[in-house]
Amino acid sequence: MHGIFITGTNTGVGKTAVAAGLAWALRKRKIDVGVMKPFATANRVFSKKYRSQDTAILAKASRVNDPDCNLNPFFYSIAASPLVASELKHGAPVNIKRAVHEMKKLGIKHDFLIAEGIGGIMVPLTENECVAGFVKQAGLPVVIVTTAKLGTLNHTLLTVMACKKFELKIMGIILNKTSKKPNNIVEKKTAEVIERLTHVKVLAVIPFSQGANYASIGKVLEQDLDLDKLLSMEELEPTMSFANKEGIDI
């Protein structure tokens, strides 16, 4: 299976926007890109066609016609982790084997698959399984989405640490929702420090925009990302001048 798994350091960091933006950019290059949101929760069903708004956005950006049951096999009508939602009787418990099976079917159908996670990498899916374990079974490399707000170093380092614990391949980090013209010296240094401490390449820095959509984000990713390397799944090593091998070993 050829593709990536988009995870985040927390809920609300912009995983869906980044995943949809990347899907849009690849479609623009005539790549047959598939999308998937294996697990989703919300306080209401979004539409007759798509239970999750995130799935609807991903499908529109990638222009796929795959059924919602394949794109989003597990949906819960309450804003909670799949574990808690299923315990509150808002749906059947997650079946990891079924989710992996649905993902592999989409991976065979499309040339490249973009799967988006739910919350962070350690969100519990069942009593004994979390998102990281699912990604391990699916065999996809990870792209981490984070933001430049206060606390991001802690959240990003913990996410990288969890990915390494589960032996997941990290393709890189995307810094989302930054200021268009950062005048805060801390924000200016965030990307540098993240790359130096994690030894993971910062793939792109996406400025916050009130009217941002997947197309505008896709245009930023077109400029910042080496899409050819991403598609070939080549290892993306830190290349910024400040990257070094003396950072914290996490």
Q: Give the sign of the dihedral formed by CA 50, CA 52, CA 56, CA 59.
A: negative
Domain spans, the chain = 3-232
pLDDT band at 45 (very low <50, low <70, confident <90, very high): very high
In the block, which residue shows the tokens 């996490």? 250
Tell me which of 68-77, 113-122, 174-183 is least confident: 174-183
pLDDT band at 154 (very low <50, low <70, confident <90, very high): very high
Cβ contact 94:40 at 8 Å: no
Q: Tell me, yes or no, if 37 is annotated catalytic.
A: yes
CA atoms of 112 and 62, how far apart (whole Å): 11
Amino acid occupying residue 212:
A
For 100-116, the pLDDT digits (tens) are: 999 999 999 999 999 99
CA atoms of 239 and 181, how far apart (whole Å): 23
Q: Which residues contact 250 (CB under 8 A, 6 or more apart)?
A: 157, 160, 161, 164, 197, 198
CATH of domain 3-232: 3.40.50.300
More confident residue, 112 or 185: 112
Active-site residue, selected from the candidate residues 15, 37, 177, 201: 37
Average pLDDT for 75-84? 96
> Is 224 a residue whose pLDDT tops 70?
yes
Average pLDDT for 55-80? 97
pLDDT band at 176 (very low <50, low <70, confident <90, very high): very high
pLDDT band at 236 (very low <50, low <70, confident <90, very high): low
> Under DSSP, is residue 78 helix (H, G, I), strand (E, B) or coil?
coil
